[in-house]
Every structure is written in C-alpha cells, then in structure tokens.
Amino acid sequence: MSGVQWIWQRPEWPAFTWQADALAAPLRACVQAQGTLLGMAGAVDRADELHGQLDTLLQNIITSSAIEGETLNVASVRSSLARRLGLEPDSKPSPRSEGAAELLLDATRNIDRPLTLERLLGWHQQLFPGEALPLHSAMHVGELRGDEPMQVVSGRLDRPRVHFEAPPRAGLEAQLERFLQWFADSRADAGLDPLLRAGIAHFWFVTLHPFDDGNGRLTRAITDLALAQADGQAIRLYAMSASILDDRSGYYRVLEASQKGGLDITEWLQWFLATLLDSLQQAIARIERLLAKARFWQRHRDVVFSPEQTRVLNRLLDGGERGFADGISASQYQAVAKVSKATATRHLADLLEKGCIEKLPGGGRSTRYRVSPARRAE
C-alpha cells in the first residue's frame, strides 16, 4: 500500500490476524509445559517455593531492564522483593529497586484489578522514582510522551537507521483507550487463547510506545499480567524476560519485521510462544534440580559431612551457571571450599567412599566429579 511504512498506518489497524494451524503445536507445547511445571511445583517444600519465587521475580526484573541496556543493583532489588515476600523484614533497598519490585508484584498478583491508564501511569512512576532521575531530565514521568516523534534508531547521528516509528502523539489517548478496552474485554473471550492474548497485548502495546522511556519494561509487565490472568499460579515460577534477553537480537528482529508488515502477526506469535516455552522449560529444569537436591539430602540424612563438603555439594546440586555442569575438579573444590590442596583431595576421596559423588570419564590431574545419580530403587 503506497505511503504505508508501519503497521499502525494501515486502515485495518489494529484488527490483527494469525494462522491458527501454524500456532496449534507451539500452543499445545506451552500448555503442557505449564501443567508439568505446576505439577512439579506442588512437590516443592514451602520455604524452597518462596525462595524460588523470589529468584524468579528477581530474574524477571533484572533481565527486563537488561533488555533495554539498563543495569539494576541485584542486591537492592532482591532485598526489596524479599521484604515483600516476608523473607527479609528489615531491608532498606533503593527507590528504583522498590519501584521495580512493586510494579512486578502488582502485575502478577493483582490480576483482577482493571488495567487502566491511571494504573499504567502509576507503573511508569514506579519505574522512574524522582530520586533516580538525572538532574534536568526532560522525561515525562507518570505522563504520556511529548509531541516529538517517537523513533527507535541506531547508527551514526548523521546517518541514523530508523527501526521503528510509533504512532503520533495526537490521538495517542484514544489509541491507548482502545487497547485497554480490548485488554479488559478479551479476558472473557472464549475464542481467544489466553497465551495468544498475552502475545497480542505485548505486540500492540510496544507498538503504541506511549511513554518517553520504559516502554519495553511496561510492555513486559503487561505481558506478565496477561500470563498471570491465564494461569495465576504458574507465572510465579518462570521468568519470560530472561528468555527474551537470551534471544534479544531475535526479539528486536521479529518486532521490527512485524511492525513493518501487515496485520497477520503469525511470525511474531510463533516467536512469542517459542520464547515462552523456553522460559517454562528452564523453570521445569530448576524445579527438577530442587527436587533432586531434596532427595539427595534425604538419602544422606545420616551421613556426617564437614561444612566445606556441604557447601560444595550444595553448589553441585544447585546447578545453573555456578553449578559446575561439567563436574568439579580438585582445584575447583579447593577454591570453593577454601581449603588446602591436600584437604580438597581428602574430602573428595571421602565423598567418593560415601557414594555421594562419582568420577567422570577421564583421569589424571583433570579428574572431575559429579553428584552420584539416585538409584532406581529409590
């Protein structure tokens, strides 16, 4: 169509369409993964569940900011979340951490509270508390963006590349009201899958880009709200923003292509569901590690360990980036346990004898060890 560069310029905007057949399989996979995740979570100890929720919320906040290139203080955000979950009553986090925590908890817990312009403006204020803003900032905080064109650009100042331009400021209130009304009405639409609704909400709001800054983070908060409305329990167990960050270039690539395309947003929804599935699978793997850890300590409840052995075993059982996925060597044991080389060798030999760890293939100075798998009889 002549003169049309962006999806919002099309006369049929925002009457999105998609190819249901192409989305059926990824939708089924996500729903099955949600069910698996909820079923496994029911077997987790209450204290572990609370700490798991804390870690998931923390990961969501930190990675959602990282997608936009912003770094938050991890300890401060964790402290703010822990206080709200009743885990650290005396913490004193920063205003920015407080705002980020309040926003995400509001989005994922107050799922029946209507999403209104007033609520959105409040979320925006929480993202940018006064103490955290630079002096002479021209940003409209708690207000819709100014009259200047809203563009996403990259490249040199004299030769910028425009990846996207949002709808003009004139008429933005009406555009937002239309979105908010759809968000309210679509929750009861039996013909619209709740996970597709979350994907549509994400794409629609980020395309409107109604604020000077923070649009991406607010978009992901709205997505979390929609996902929480789809299943109020599972949302506390996975962090979709972390999976978006893992494929950040893919995220921006599919957004740009879809925002320059027609009203058929199948490609965007395919990417959204694949990324949601990845986040669910990561959460399942984390709970599997939690349950395996609980079973390990139950099996060895009568065994006496040194504090250093316990620390190293917990690191191995926790897995993840700091969990020595390729096994642990004597020198790594020495560093983690803060013991001498001779003590590290003795501790590992003791754990071998007790059946707690086993050698991985290889040998010599490069010998590595992992936690012994549970026997089938258990």
Nearest to 270 by CA among 21, 16, 63: 21
Phi-psi region of 94 (alpha: psi -120 to 50; beta: other; left: phi over 0): beta
pLDDT 10s digits, 193-212: 999 999 999 999 999 999 99
Both tokens of residue 300? 């060895």
Which helix (DSSP H) or strand (DSSP E) does residue 308 occupy?
A: helix 307-318
Structural contact between residues 249 and 197, judged by C-beta atoms closer than 8 angstroms: no
Q: Can you say how many angstroms the Cα of residue 159 is from the centroid of all Cα atoms in its chain?
A: 34
DSSP state for residue 245 in the 8-state scheme:
H
Which DSSP category does 128 fall into? S
**Amino acid sitting at position 90:** D
From first to last of the 378 residues of the chain, give the pLDDT tens digit: 557 899 999 999 999 999 999 999 999 999 999 999 988 887 776 667 777 778 888 888 889 889 888 888 888 888 888 887 777 666 677 888 888 889 999 999 999 999 999 999 999 999 998 755 554 456 788 999 988 888 877 777 777 788 889 999 999 999 999 999 999 999 999 999 999 999 999 999 999 999 999 999 999 999 999 999 998 777 788 999 999 999 999 999 999 999 999 999 999 999 999 999 999 999 999 888 888 888 899 999 999 999 999 999 999 988 766 668 788 999 999 999 999 999 999 999 999 999 999 999 876 667 899 998 876 444
- Amino acid identity for residue 214 in this structure: G
Asked if residue 373 has a cis previous peptide bond (ω within 30° of 0), the answer is no
329 forms beta bridges with 368
Q: What CATH homologous superfamily does 7-288 map to?
A: Fido-like domain (1.10.3290.10)
Sequence spans of domains, the chain: 7-288, 302-371
Q: Model confidence over 150-191: pLDDT tens digits?
A: 887 777 777 778 888 999 999 999 999 999 999 999 999 999
Give the three-state DSSP class for 232: coil
Helix/strand/coil (H, E, C) string of 162-186? EEEECCCCCCHHHHHHHHHHHHHHH
For residues 74 and 58, give the distance between their C-alpha atoms in angstroms, rounded to a whole number: 8
Tokens representing 342 are 């001779």
CATH number of 302-371: 1.10.10.10
Q: What does pTM read for this prediction?
A: 0.86
Q: Is 355 left (phi over 0), alpha (psi -120 to 50) or beta?
A: left
